[in-house]
Structure 1
Amino acid sequence: MKTLSVRAIAPVIAALFLALWPTAARAATVTVMVGPNCFCFSPSEVTISPGDTVRWTWSSGGHSTTSGNPCTPNGLWDSGILNQGAMFTHTFNSVGSFPYFCSPHCSEGMTGMVTVVNASPTPTATPPPSPTPGAVLGNISTRSFVQTGDNVMIGGFIVQGS
């Protein structure tokens, strides 16, 4: 009878460890280009989660990112007018829609939108159904010899009958 080596068991243990280890949500940073050969933001609309940051990067000068409806600032943020190569960031902590515009070019339609949505909830496991009264549980098993390089499929199934 062969015993399993540590090399054979280690990948299984590592996979289980990684699958079951809780992972913390990490904030993301989304980049929006400011004025890339147009009076526009690219992309003009982004969708993020609470805690994420938008980084506006200027590809041409003479533009701003100013929160509010076109040509009407609401005071949440204002980069001021910046030149090519500049960057400005804002972190969004609450859910909602946040319109913004370029103050010198808002009348030309240079506008954008940041939409902040909650992440999808983690699904909860559904417990397996209880056996039907009168059901008989059976165990079918087999043994086989497996060598290095062999492919093995392990599976299970439920057969219901009357």
Structure 2
Amino acid sequence: DFNLPQRFNVEHVAEDNTRKQPVMIHRAILGSFERFIAILTEHYAGEFPFFIAPTQVIFVPIADDHVAYAKTLKNRLIQEEIDSEIYDRNDSLNKRIRLAEKQRVPYVVILGDAEVTNKSVAIRDRRAKEQYNLTIDEFMVKLSQQLKEGKI
């Protein structure tokens, strides 16, 4: 490291009695992880690929009646080791969707009467910038494939 000795004004006396700035050799495992995460965050502007996103799916139930369905889906995702959250706050639907999209989560899933009845999900796909419906099984297959493929 050439930077830290200069920043901290570190010097040593060489054999010829002149002052020299050393090259610092250090090992910082934690620091290197932090730098790696910082580089990834900057590179993706916080919009991580599905397989490394901290939260991969956010469920937004339209009404309180749909929260149980959201919990069922969340439990299924937990079995597949997919991280998800449920936004069931008392805020308006638009505000909850906006909050979910601000989190830059790969998938925001809106759950209403039609989705509960049809055992399906209404998906907002951040990367494809599309909205579409899938059955639960189709959605699970899609997520599992993305997790295994690790596409960027």
Q: Give the TM-score band, short-chain normalised.
A: under 0.3
TM-score by length of 2: 0.28
Higher strand proportion, which one?
1
TM-score when normalising by structure 1: 0.27
Larger helix percent: 2
